[in-house]
Amino acid sequence: MTKSNEAKKARRAGRVKTSEATFLGELADQQSSKYRLAQGFGVLFAVSLVLQAWALANVFSDMALHQSFSLSLLVIGLFALLLRALSNFGRERICASASRDIRYGLRSELVSHLTKLGPARLRIEEDAALSTRVYEQIDALDDFFSRYKPQVFMVTLLPCVILLSVVSISWITFFVFMMTAPLVIVFMIFVGHKAAQANRRQFSVLAMLSNQFMDLSQGLAELKRLNKTQEARDRLSDSASAYQKTTMSVLILAFLSTATLELFASLSIAMIALYLGLGLLEVLPWQVGESPVTLTQAMFLLLLAPEFYLPLRQLGNDYHAKQKAEAAATDLLEILNTTLSDTTIQTAESVMSELIESEVVEKEAFIGFHQLSWTESGHHRLAPITAQIAQGERVWLSGESGIGKSSLLHLLLGFEEDYQGQLFINGQAFQNIDLSDWRSKLAWLPQTPEWVNGSIRRNLLLGLEGSQTPTDEALQQALEKSQCDDFIQVLPEGLDTKLTELGSGLSGGQMQRLSIARALLSKTDVWLLDEPCSGLDNDTAEAVLDTLESVSRGKTLLIVSHDTHPITWADKHWTLTKGGLNEPFINQ
Amino acid sequence: MSHSLINKRSMNKSPFNKSAKLTLKGLLLANPWGFVIPVLIGVLASLAGVALLGLSGWFISAAGLATAMGVGLVFNYLTPGAIVRGLAILRTSGRYGEQVTAHNHLLGLLRILRLWVWDQRVAKDSANLHEQSRGDLLQRLVSDLDQIIRWPLVVFLPWIYALLSYVAVAIFAYFILPALLWPLAIAGVFHVFIVPYICGRFASHAVHVGQILGVHRRSRFVSLFSALITLTIRGHWKDYAERLEQLDERQRKSEILIQQAVSLGRLLAYGVTIALLACSFYLIGSFSGEAGQWLLIDGVKGTWMIGYVLSLLAINELVLPLVQSFVAQGQSQVGLRRLNQLHQEPLIQEPPIREQQAEIHAKNDSEQVIKMAFTHWRGFHASSEMGNTALDLLIESGDRVWIRGESGSGKSTLLAAIAGDCLSSGDAFINDEKQDLYGNQAYQNKISYLPQSPYIFQQSIGANLRLGNSNATDSELWSALDAVVLADWVQNLPNGLDTLLSSQGRNLSGGQRKRLALARLLLRSSGILLLDEPFDGLDKATIEHICSSLQNEYKPDILVLVSHVESQLGIGARIIEL
Write down the mean pLDDT value for chain B.
82
Q: Do A450 and B229 touch (CB under 8 A)?
A: yes
What pLDDT was estimated at residue A144?
Answer: 92
Q: Which residues from chain B sit within 8 angstroms of residue A124, using beta carbons? A: none
Confidence band, pLDDT 50/70/90 cuts, at residue A100: very high
B538 pLDDT higher than 80:
no
The length of chain A is: 588
- Identity of the residue numbered A351: V
Distance from CA of B60 to the nearest CA of A (A): 5
Q: What is the mean pLDDT of residues B520-538?
A: 86
Look at B578 and A27; give whichever has higher pLDDT. A27
Q: Do A234 and B458 touch (CB under 8 A)?
A: no
What pLDDT was estimated at residue A11?
Answer: 47
Whether residue B440 lies within 8 A of chain A, CB to CB, comes out as no
pLDDT tens, residue by residue, B141-157: 777 887 788 888 888 88
Cα B108 to Cα A33, A90, A247, B232: the distances in Å are 46, 40, 11, 49
Q: Do B383 and A500 touch (CB under 8 A)?
A: yes
B130, B360, B456 member nearest A502 (Cβ):
B130
Question: Which strand (E) or helix (H) includes residue B129?
Answer: helix B126-132
Q: What is the mean pLDDT of residues B102-125?
A: 84
A344 pLDDT higher than 60:
no
The torsion angles phi and psi of B460, rounded to 5 degrees, stand at -70, 165
Instruction: Map out the domains of chain B as residue ranges.
Output: 13-284+292-342, 356-577
Look at A27 and B68; give whichever has higher pLDDT. A27
Lowest pLDDT segment from B6-15, B163-172, B243-252 = B6-15
A180 pLDDT higher than 70:
yes
pLDDT tens, residue by residue, B39-74: 999 999 999 988 888 888 888 888 888 888 877 667
Fold of the CATH domain B356-577? Rossmann fold (3.40.50)
Sign of CA dihedral A167, A172, A177, A183: positive
Which residues 115-144 of B have a C-beta within 8 angstroms of A? Answer: 115, 117-119, 121-122, 126, 129-131, 133-136, 138-139, 141-143
Closest Cα in chain B to A146 = B259
Closest Cα in chain B to A65 = B65
Sheet strands (E) in A427-474 = 428-429, 442-445, 454-455
Looking at mean pLDDT, say which of A95-109, A219-233, B47-61, B207-221 comes out highest.
A95-109
Which DSSP string do the residues of A52-66 spell out, in sequence order?
HHHHHHHHHHHHHHH
B92, B226, B449 member nearest A450 (Cβ):
B226
What pLDDT was estimated at residue B19?
Answer: 54
pLDDT > 90 in chain B, percent: 20
A455 pLDDT higher than 80:
yes
Q: A219-255: buried (b, 16+ CB within 10 Å) or exposed (e) per residue?
A: bbbbbbbbbbbbbbbbbbbbbbeebbeebeebbeebb
Cα A252 to Cα A192, B435, B483: the distances in Å are 15, 56, 51
A83 pLDDT higher than 90:
yes
Q: What is the mean pLDDT of residues A57-72?
A: 90
pLDDT tens, residue by residue, B325-338: 888 788 888 888 87
pLDDT tens, residue by residue, B425-449: 888 888 888 888 887 888 888 889 9
B368 pLDDT higher than 80:
no
What pLDDT was estimated at residue B139?
Answer: 66
Lowest pLDDT segment from A15-19, A87-91, B192-196, B323-327 = A15-19
Q: Do B256 and A100 touch (CB under 8 A)?
A: yes
A383 pLDDT higher than 90:
no
Q: Which residues from chain A sit within 8 angstroms of residue B469, using beta carbons? A: none
Q: Do B142 and A214 touch (CB under 8 A)?
A: yes
Lowest pLDDT segment from B120-129, B298-307, B310-319 = B120-129
Q: Do B256 and A111 touch (CB under 8 A)?
A: no
Look at A274 and B490; give whichever has higher pLDDT. B490
How far apart CA B548 and CA B572 sit, in angstroms, is 14
Q: How many CA atoms lie within 13 A of A50 on its CB side?
A: 15
Which residues 460-489 of B have a C-beta within 8 angstroms of A? Answer: 467-468, 470
DSSP H helices, A393-537, are 405-413, 435-439, 456-460, 472-481, 485-490, 508-521
What pLDDT was estimated at residue B433?
Answer: 84
Q: How many CA atoms lie within 13 A of B89 on its CB side?
A: 6
How far apart CA A156 and CA A3 sit, in angstroms, is 11
Please say whether the beta carbons of B543 and B565 come within 8 A.
yes
- Residue of A140, A444, A112 whose CA lies nearest to B225: A112
- Residue of B401, B258, B86 whose CA lies nearest to A142: B258
Q: What is the mean pLDDT of residues B390-404?
A: 87
pLDDT tens, residue by residue, A481-531: 888 888 888 777 788 887 765 455 677 788 888 888 988 888 888 999 988
What pLDDT was estimated at residue B357?
Answer: 46
What pLDDT was estimated at residue B1?
Answer: 35
pLDDT tens, residue by residue, A8-25: 444 444 455 788 889 999
Q: Do B441 and A230 touch (CB under 8 A)?
A: no
B466 pLDDT higher than 60:
yes
What pLDDT was estimated at residue A117?
Answer: 85
Confidence band, pLDDT 50/70/90 cuts, at residue A588: very low
Cα B464 to Cα B1, B36, B53, B511, B536: the distances in Å are 10, 42, 61, 16, 21
What pLDDT was estimated at residue A192?
Answer: 65
- Identity of the residue numbered A497: T
B504 pLDDT higher than 70:
no
A241, A280, A464 member nearest B67 (Cβ):
A280
Lowest pLDDT segment from A231-245, A413-427, B311-325, B516-530 = A413-427
- Identity of the residue numbered B173: A
Q: Do A452 and B255 touch (CB under 8 A)?
A: no
Q: Which residues from chain A sit within 8 angstroms of residue B416, using beta carbons? A: none
The torsion angles phi and psi of A371, rounded to 5 degrees, stand at 50, 40
B353 pLDDT higher than 50:
no
What pLDDT was estimated at residue B365?
Answer: 45
pLDDT > 70 in chain A, percent: 86
Q: Do A71 and B131 touch (CB under 8 A)?
A: no
Whether residue B24 lies within 8 A of chain A, CB to CB, comes out as no
Q: Do B263 and A442 touch (CB under 8 A)?
A: no
Lowest pLDDT segment from A127-131, A133-137, B347-351, B534-538 = B347-351
Q: Which of B37, B50, B60, B320 to mutate to test the interface with A (most CBs of A within 10 A)?
A: B60
Instruction: Map out the domains of chain A as residue ranges.
Output: 2-337, 347-586
Q: Which of B120, B195, B238, B384 to mutate to test the interface with A (most CBs of A within 10 A)?
A: B384
Q: Which residues from chain B sit within 8 angstroms of residue A270, using beta carbons? A: 84-85, 88
Looking at mean pLDDT, say which of A352-356, B4-8, B149-153 comes out highest.
B149-153
Q: Do A132 and B419 touch (CB under 8 A)?
A: no
Q: Which residues from chain B sit within 8 angstroms of residue A415, using beta carbons? A: 229
Please state the separation of Cα B417 from the chain's center in Å: 31
How far apart CA B214 and CA B248 sit, in angstroms, is 9
Q: Does ipTM exceed 0.85?
A: no
Lowest pLDDT segment from A314-318, B16-20, B477-481 = B16-20
pLDDT > 90 in chain A, percent: 20
* Chain A with chain B: Cβ pairs closer than 8 A: 437
B89, B115, B295 member nearest A67 (Cβ):
B295
Q: Which of B12, B145, B219, B228 to mutate to test the interface with A (most CBs of A within 10 A)?
A: B228
Question: Is the domain A347-586 a CATH 3.40.50.720 member?
Answer: no
Which residues 288-317 of B have a C-beta within 8 angstroms of A? Answer: 288, 291, 293-296, 300, 302-303, 305-306, 309
Q: Which residues from chain A sit within 8 angstroms of residue B408, using beta carbons? A: 487, 506-507, 509-510
Lowest pLDDT segment from A164-168, A441-445, B1-5, B345-349 = B1-5
Q: What is the mean pLDDT of residues A12-41?
A: 84
Q: Do B296 and A490 touch (CB under 8 A)?
A: no
Helix (H, G, I), strand (E, B) or coil at B395: strand
What pLDDT was estimated at residue B256?
Answer: 93
Q: Which of A81, A100, A227 to mutate to test the interface with B (most CBs of B within 10 A)?
A: A227
Distance from CA of A17 to the nearest CA of B (A): 31
How far apart CA A456 and CA A499 sit, in angstroms, is 6
Q: What is the CATH number of domain B13-284+292-342?
A: 1.20.1560.10
A74, A295, A446 member nearest B64 (Cβ):
A295
Q: Which residues from chain A sit within 8 angstroms of residue B122, using beta carbons? A: 220, 224, 229, 233
B167 pLDDT higher than 90:
yes
- Residue of B261, B120, B289 whose CA lies nearest to B204: B261
- Residue of A207, A203, A206 whose CA lies nearest to A195: A203
B66, B444, B458 member nearest A227 (Cβ):
B444
- Identity of the residue numbered B250: R
- Residue of B332, B316, B82, B34 whose CA lies nearest to B207: B332
pLDDT tens, residue by residue, A104-129: 999 999 998 998 888 888 778 777 77
Q: What is the mean pLDDT of residues B154-172?
A: 92
How far apart CA A150 and CA A156 sit, in angstroms, is 11
Q: Which residues from chain B sit within 8 angstroms of residue A498, using beta carbons? A: 383
Please say whether the beta carbons of A443 and A437 come within 8 A.
no
Q: Which residues from chain B sit within 8 angstroms of residue A224, using beta carbons? A: 122, 126, 129, 441, 444
Out of 1.20.1560.10, 3.40.190.10, 3.30.2000.20, 2.30.30.140, select the CATH number for domain A2-337.
1.20.1560.10
Distance from CA of A551 to the nearest CA of B (A): 19
Q: What is the mean pLDDT of residues A301-313?
A: 86
Please state, as a whole number, how many other Cβ atoms lie within 10 Å of the Cβ of residue B550: 24
Beta bridge partners of A385: A372
Please state, as a whole number, how many other Cβ atoms lie within 10 Å of the Cβ of residue A321: 21
How far apart CA B191 and CA B187 sit, in angstroms, is 6
Please state, as a whole number, how many other Cβ atoms lie within 10 Å of the Cβ of residue B142: 18
Longest CA–CA span in chain B (Å) reads 120
Q: Do B229 and A119 touch (CB under 8 A)?
A: yes
Please say whether the beta carbons of A373 and A384 come within 8 A.
yes
Task: Name B531's Cβ contacts closer than 8 Å, sequence gap at least 6.
Answer: B450, B518, B559, B560, B561, B562, B563
B259 pLDDT higher than 70:
yes
Sheet strands (E) in B322-478 = 371-380, 391-396, 400-404, 423-430, 433-435, 447-450
Q: Which residues from chain A sit within 8 angstroms of residue B533, using beta carbons? A: 537
Write down the mean pLDDT value for chain A.
81
Distance from CA of B493 to the nearest CA of A (A): 23
Distance from CA of A282 to the nearest CA of B (A): 7
Q: What is the mean pLDDT of residues A138-148?
A: 91
Beta bridge partners of A395: A558, A572
Closest Cα in chain A to B286 = A68
A252 pLDDT higher than 90:
no
Q: What is the mean pLDDT of residues B254-277?
A: 93
Q: What is the mean pLDDT of residues A278-301?
A: 84
